Structure 1
Amino acid sequence: MSDTEALVFECALDAPPEKVWRALTIPEYLERWLKPAKSDELAVVTAEENRSLTYRWRESGQGAIVGLEDSLVTFDLTPTADGGTWFRLTHAPVAIPAAANNNAPTMRLAA
């Protein structure tokens, strides 16, 4: 996966990494913060407590992009000097659809 295939968002948060981690891992907090659709499926792929977390996010139902139902969403948390967190979210497709004028099959990215 390269950054050209992924969406990357970064910002500083006023909360320490431990608090952000709880927001990403406790289902009630995750639901309030990220608001995944009821039909979406999230499964942890990798986790390094208070530092990094990757979910396999499967969208389904109306509005899901055909061929891009699965994606990897990675949260990287870095403590800042002021007690906050540098937050980096990377959202990358698991499958990259082939161009409409390409006869090659869809390329699968390693998870």
Structure 2
Amino acid sequence: MTSETDALVFECSLDAPPEKVWRALTIPEYLSRWLKPADDIELAVVTAEENKSLTYRWREAGQGAVTDAEDSLVTFELTPNDDGGTWFKLTHAPMTVPVAANSNCVNALLMAA
């Protein structure tokens, strides 16, 4: 679940067709040249609809399952243009995960108060 007010959205038109943009987002060596994620970033595919939409879970390497740091979701939406290019929309939003009421996390205690 994400909060739209916390999301960063970037949109633009690209000269390449959606299939080519898709390859740049899904082939690791192309992704690393194009997106250039830092070495301490782990990416994992959450959802994918070929040549249309792709969502990665973005996480700093080494974070455990229970942590104060928030993971985020990076979603790419690809829409073909009439000129053969792609309307490109990138949304980077924090991912909030519900915390169990019996959790020992400080955040859970504050939320229950």
TM-score range, shorter chain: 0.7 to 0.9
Corresponding residue SS for 1:42:
strand
CA apart distance, 1:60: 4.0
Aligned position for 1:67: 69
Q: CA deviation at 1:39?
A: 1.8
Q: Greater helix percent: which structure?
A: 2
Q: Which amino acid aligns with 2:94?
A: P
1:6-56 Cα deviation digits (max 9, x unpaired): 111100000000000000000000000111111211000000000000000
Q: Conserved in 2, the CA contact under 8 Å of 1:23 and 1:33? A: yes
Q: Which runs of 5+ in 2 are unaligned?
A: 63-67, 98-109
Shift of 1:67: 2.0
Does the aligned pair in 2 maintain the 1:7–1:92 contact within 8 Å?
yes
**1:3 deviation in Å?**
2.3
**Distance in 2 separating the partners of 1:46 and 1:57:** 13
Gap regions ≥5 residues in structure 1: 97-102, 106-111
Cα distance between partner residues in 2 of 1:10 and 1:16: 15
Percent same amino acid among aligned pairs? 76
Mapped partners of 2:58, 2:69: distance in 1: 13
Q: 2:17 is matched by which residue type in structure 1? A: P
Say yes or no: does 1:84 pair with 2:91.
no
TM-score (norm 1): 0.78
Say if 1:67 and 1:95, in contact at 8 Å, map to a contact too.
Answer: no
Distance 1:56 1:11 in 2: 22
Aligned residues: 94
Q: Secondary structure at the match of 1:4?
A: helix
Q: Deviations over 1:46-84 (max 9, x none)?
A: 0000000000010248xxxx623x100000000000000
Counterpart of 1:11 in structure 2: which amino acid? C
Cα displacement (A) at 1:104 = 2.4
